[in-house]
Structure 1
Amino acid sequence: MNLELALRMCEAGLKQAAREGALISVAVVDAGGHLVTFQRMEGAEIAGPVLAPGKAYTSVANRMSTADLHPLTLPGGELYGLAGDRFVCFGGGIPLWADYGEGERVVGGVGVSGGTVAQDVACAEAAASVWRTR
């Protein structure tokens, strides 16, 4: 993960948000869950600077999308109680995978917040597609 690629990913997420009619924040983190870049659209919700990086971090830490993680964290779910200070367990976070010859591993994540869950997921997918086609 590098800054140039992360910025292109954010731009793709923002463009998708414009198509969706959403005002979002988007964050890209590295394999350690550390913020590489963050962008917030003018007028986006005030929680975005916390939720977008949180979704990106959560997707890296759990090696799965936060949309897939969400049902596992509900009462009776295998990971019930996981959500807390650092984990944001609803749609909008996607891990980024790379193959280094020894199998795939998570090398970063993208997180989006500000729209509906469906809009956040669509914007995160747009950003992740930049990674996949790099």
Structure 2
Amino acid sequence: MDLELALRMCEAALKQAAREGAVISVAVVDAGGHLVSFQRMEGAGFAGASLAPGKACAAAAHRRPTAELAPTAASGPGEYLSWHDRFVCVGGGIPLWADYGETERVAGGVGVSGGTAEQDVACAEAASSVWRTR
């Protein structure tokens, strides 16, 4: 995961948000959950600044889209709800996969917050498509 690619991913999410009519924040993290890039559209709510990185971290750590984690998180407290307040398990986070020789591993995650769950997912998917075509 490098900064240039992460910035292009954020830009793709912002363009999708404009098409969707959403005002979002977007974050890209590496495999360790460390923030590589973050962008916030003018007028985006302040909560997205925490939620977008949390979705990216949750997706990378659990190796699943956060929309898949939401039902488990809603069922009660536990590791899916929060880990040092870094995991946000509602739609908008997508893990980023990379080939490492004969295995595929998570190389990071992208998280989007600020729109509806569907808009957040669409924006995260736009960002992850940049990753897949790198």
Structure 2 distance, partners of 1:102, 1:54, is 30
Match of 1:83 in 2: 81
What does the per-residue CA deviation read over 1:12-38, in whole Å, with 9 as the maximum and x for residues that have no partner? Answer: 000000000000000000010000010
Structure 2 distance, partners of 1:73, 1:83, is 5
Please tell me the root mean square deviation across aligned C-alpha atoms, in Å: 1.0
Give 1:108's aligned amino acid.
Answer: G
Match of 1:17 in 2: 17
Structure 2 distance, partners of 1:21, 1:92, is 16
Match of 1:51 in 2: 51
What does the per-residue CA deviation read over 1:70-103, in whole Å, with 9 as the maximum and x for residues that have no partner? Answer: 1122227xxx522122210100000000111221
Secondary structure of residue in 2 paired with 1:50 = helix
Tell me the TM-score normalised to structure 2 length.
0.94
Tell me the TM-score normalised to structure 1 length.
0.94
What does the per-residue CA deviation read over 1:85-131, in whole Å, with 9 as the maximum and x for residues that have no partner? Answer: 22101000000001112211000110000000000000000000000
Can you give the 5+ residue segments of structure 2 that lack an aligned partner in the other structure? none
Can you give the 5+ residue segments of structure 1 that lack an aligned partner in the other structure? none
TM superposition outliers: structure 1 runs of 4+ over 3 Å: none
Instruction: Give the share of equivalent positions with the same residue, in percent.
Output: 76
**Alignment length (residue pairs):** 131
Match of 1:115 in 2: 115
Of residues 96-105 and 112-121 in structure 1, the stretch that sits farther from structure 2 once superposed is 96-105
Give 2:121's aligned amino acid.
Answer: V
Match of 2:101 in 1: 101
Structure 1 distance, partners of 2:109, 2:92, is 10
Question: How far 1:54 sits from its partner (Å)?
Answer: 0.4
Structure 2 distance, partners of 1:104, 1:72, is 25
The within-5 A match list for 1:56-67 is: 56-67=56-67
Structure 1 distance, partners of 2:7, 2:48, is 17
